[in-house]
Amino acid sequence: MIDLVQFPWSPFCIVQRRILEYSGVPFTVTNIPNGDRSLVWRLTGEQYYGVPILRDGRRVVFEADHDSQVIATYLDAKLDLDLFPRAFAGLQTILWRHIENDIEDLAFRLNDIYWEEMVDAADRLLFVRHKERKFGRGCLDQWRREQKSMVAELTRRLAPYGEMLAAHPFLLDEQPRFVDFDLFGMLGNFLYSGHYRLPATLPRLRKWYETMGRIQFPLHREKLRS
């Protein structure tokens, strides 16, 4: 059985978890603390410390670089989900770069403002140290001060995705493709703390997000046939 190694609020983990749920395949989840990557390090033969990774029998699947989609393409091929159709090759790459950089950058900072509500006491020191080493001393307080302007900027950056939903129910066409799951993951991270809602000015995006949270591939397949 496939096992997803993750922590629950990670945007990139939410992407793969939702793809697995969508597929209907049985899978398990192993949660690790954000600050302790020793399981990932061991499973990947000391090559990787990021999340998510997948265990599928004896195989361990993980990303090759910041911009690779090794796990998603592995699941797509194995489960036959048609997430990367040739018609959208290239276009999806441009989009996921925007989603995983411009959207993710604001989404995770806005969620991290509420880090004390999601990080276990035993992991707090490592969490703050990890953030401050990467983003500077006091970064979490700084993000709290900038919260309002960051929400406004995120809303601005999300507006084109709302526009993409005007002509079809998913970002590119009539069924969810990889970029739908990718954006879902970044927004799942933004919404994780429970302190935010998607902008009321983007009703199509709100509806899409709700659909993306529950859609199942087999049902969808039947719908396509009928």
CB of 186 to ligand GSH, least distance (A): 10
Rounded to whole angstroms, the maximal C-alpha distance in the chain is: 57
Q: How far is the CB of 199 from ligand GSH (least distance, A)?
A: 23
Neighbours of 180 (CB within 10 A): 29
* Cβ proximity to ligand GSH, 63 vs 105, nearer residue: 63
Applying CB under 6 A, among 2, 4, 5, 10 the residue interacting with ligand GSH is: 10
Closer CB to ligand GSH, 52 or 188, in the complex:
52
Residue type (1 letter), 189:
N
Which lies closer to ligand GSH via its Cβ, residue 63 or residue 173?
63
Neighbours of 25 (CB within 10 A): 15
* The residue count for the chain: 226
Which listed residue (4, 5, 12, 18) binds ligand GSH by CB under 6 A? Answer: 12
The two structure tokens encoding residue 105: 């950058």
| Residue ranges in 49-78 that form contacts with ligand GSH under rule CB under 6 A | 49-52, 63, 66
Site map 24..53 versus ligand GSH, x via CB under 6 A? -------------------------xxxx-
Residue closer to ligand GSH, measured from CB, 33 or 50: 50
Choice between 52 and 162, CB closer to ligand GSH:
52
Question: d(Cα 14, Cα 131) in Å, to the nearest integer?
Answer: 20
d(CA 69, CA 90): 13
Nearest one of 91, 56, 60, 58 to 172, comparing CA atoms = 91
Residue type (1 letter), 80 = D
List contacts with ligand GSH (CB under 6 A). Answer: 10-12, 49-52, 63, 66
